[in-house]
Every structure is written in C-alpha cells, then in structure tokens.
C-alpha cells in the first residue's frame, strides 16, 4: 500500500529527506505557504506535492515528519495538533507524528502530551537525526527509471543517509501503512518505549560534535588575536590530527547553521541538567549557545549564512564580531 508523508519543513535537512523518500516511491507533501520563491521552486524540482494549508497536510498524510529549527519545534507541534483534532475525526487509521527535532527529552515529552490529549488517533514518535542530509549516490542519480528500480530492490544503499534513532510506544516499523518500508528508507533504529530516549541520544551526540565546534570557535579566535592561530593549527595537526581535521571542518561548516544551533545548545544544556542529573553544572551550554548567537548575529559570514568560506575568513569575521560587540 502506498504511503503519503507530510514534511514540515523543507529546509536543508527536510529537502534531503524528501528527495530520499521520493526516490523510494513515497508521495511527499509539504506546505510552503509563506516560504520564499526559492523554497517553493526547490520543492517542485524535487517532485514534492505542494498543499496550501496545514489542514491539507494532516488530512492527506499517513505520516508527518517535523524537521524544523529547535526553537520552532513546540509551536509547530501545537499548530499540527490543532489541525489534527479538527481534520482527522473520521480517519480510518492513525496519523504518525515523528518529531525529529534537536530538542531535549523534557521538551519532546511535552510535545508528545499534546497529541496524547487529542481525541483523534495519533501515534507520537520521538526521534532525532544524526548526520548530514541524505545525498544520492551514482546509482540513485543515473535515471529516474533506474532509481525507481533500485528503490524497489532495496536501494537505500545508493544513498548516503543520516542515522535516525526513534523511541516511544509506537515503533514506526509496525505502522499499518508501509511503516516497515518507511523505517528502512529513513535508516531508523527503535531504541525502546520511552519518549525522550531518542532525543536524549541526539543531544548527547551533538554535545560532542557541535559542542566541540563551539569550543573551537573560542580557541581559534583567541589564538588569532594572540597572533598564534597558525601555530595552533600546526600543533593540532602534529599532535592530534583527527581533532585538527574535525575542528577545521566544523568551523567552516557551522557558519550557515549557527543561528539554528543557538536553541540546540540550550536544549542540550536542559538535557544534561534534567535527565543527566548535572543541575547547574550543565549550564556551560548556555555559554556555547551565546557563542553561536554571536557568530550568527555579529559576524559578517554569520549574518550572510555564507557557505564555503575559508577558515581564515571565518575566524577573522568572528574576531571582528567580538570587537564590535565589545565596543557596543
């Protein structure tokens, strides 16, 4: 049985996942109302079906994937919960709502409660996305007919995919409308029945990856102002080459995403403080959130969300932003 998946929203990750699912013969809906003409054009190019309202999205979908900036996760869920309550009273099967946002376990439990209180049948799934957006391999890009054939034969291997841990009482693979096929296409792993488990894993992972990049921003910008950034890079490459590669790649790659990572760092702090039992000691992530806020709001590359900037330009722009902030 064919399945329809509604995606909110078509940012970089949502777009990549939409393309992956289209290649695996899922029908993908999205609402681009209020989004830019470029976003609408990208959605059409990816063969997505555009619907005019959230009501259409929840009425026509078997699954909703929420993939939004962390700061928007709860507002998006409230909006969708209201539409579900109004529009799916006569649905023949439950709607699965997958929250795949980088939020804390406490936040995702609060979102799950929104749907649990609905009189309409909704299956809430806690999730996270670990890794970059899906990218097609050679077999997936060769032709539409061969891509469809690869998908029919289990062609997930032709794509580079992130990991998608899931948790909660309703395993996606057991969903009645092509649930097992969707779970496989998305590269999911069900961690257990607890809502918050998957979001917690995502937070722990991001603390080590994006948290390290936040520390590197401070380290490299301080070294720049001391006139020893070159020596710092040289010593990292000499004594810890994997760290050098990771932080240099992270510094360049974080620029267009810094604005989204502000709230994500705050949610990581909440996770460690509440679920990890670290209390106020976890508030170091409030400081890392402020680092990303400064990059996004004060640095030139951050304001432009510039992709492909060189390391020296990124660090120099951060230093200028720091000096500007200090003068103000």
Domains (range + CATH), the chain: 4-195 (3.40.50.720), 198-327 (1.10.1040)
> Would you say residue 50 has pLDDT above 70?
yes
Report whether pLDDT(148) > 50: no
User: How far apart are alpha carbons 136 and 8 in whole angstroms?
Assistant: 21
Q: What is residue 121's predicted lDDT score, i.e. its pLDDT?
A: 82
pLDDT at 90: 65
pLDDT of residue 153: 41
- Residue 140 pLDDT more than 70? no
Per-chain mean pLDDT for the chain: 90
Range of lowest pLDDT (45-54, 123-132, 146-155):
146-155
Q: What pLDDT shows up at residue 46?
A: 87
pLDDT at 116: 84
pLDDT of residue 146 exceeding 80: no
Can you give the pTM of this predicted structure?
A: 0.90
Q: How far is CA 270 from the centre of its chain?
A: 18
pLDDT at residue number 2: 79
The pLDDT of residue 235 is: 98
| CA proximity to 271, closest of 185, 205, 222, 324 | 205
């Amino acid at each position: 049985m064919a399945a329809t998946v509604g995606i909110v929203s078509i940012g970089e990750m949502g777009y990549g996942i939409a393309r992956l699912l289209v290649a695996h013969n899922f029908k993908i809906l999205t609402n681009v109302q209020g989004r830019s003409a470029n976003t609408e054009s990208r959605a059409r190019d990816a063969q997505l079906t555009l619907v005019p309202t959230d009501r259409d999205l929840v009425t026509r979908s078997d699954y909703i994937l929420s993939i939004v900036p962390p700061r928007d996760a709860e507002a998006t869920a409230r909006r969708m919960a209201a539409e579900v309550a109004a529009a799916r009273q006569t649905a023949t099967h439950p709607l699965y709502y997958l929250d795949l946002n980088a939020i804390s376990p406490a936040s995702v439990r609060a979102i799950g409660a929104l749907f649990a209180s609905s009189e309409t049948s909704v299956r809430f799934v806690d999730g996270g996305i670990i890794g970059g957006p899906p990218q097609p391999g050679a077999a997936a890009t060769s032709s539409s007919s061969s891509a469809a054939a690869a998908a029919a034969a289990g062609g997930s291997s032709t794509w580079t995919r992130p990991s998608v841990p899931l948790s909660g009482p309703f395993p996606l693979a057991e969903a009645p409308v092509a649930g097992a096929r969707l779970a496989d296409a998305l590269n999911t792993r069900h961690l257990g029945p607890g809502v918050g488990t998957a979001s917690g894993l995502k937070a722990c992972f991001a603390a080590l990856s994006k948290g390290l990049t936040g520390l590197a921003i401070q380290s490299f910008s301080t070294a720049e102002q001391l006139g020893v950034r070159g020596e710092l890079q040289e010593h990292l490459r000499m004594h810890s080459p994997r760290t050098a590669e990771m932080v240099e790649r992270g510094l360049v790659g974080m620029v267009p995403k810094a604005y989204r990572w502000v709230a994500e760092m705050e949610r990581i702090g909440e996770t460690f403080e509440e679920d990890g039992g670290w209390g106020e000691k976890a508030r170091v992530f409030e400081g890392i959130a402020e680092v990303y806020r400064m990059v996004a709001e004060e640095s030139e590359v951050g304001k432009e969300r510039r992709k492909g900037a060189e390391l020296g330009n990124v660090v120099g722009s951060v230093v200028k932003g720091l000096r500007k902030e200090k003068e103000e």
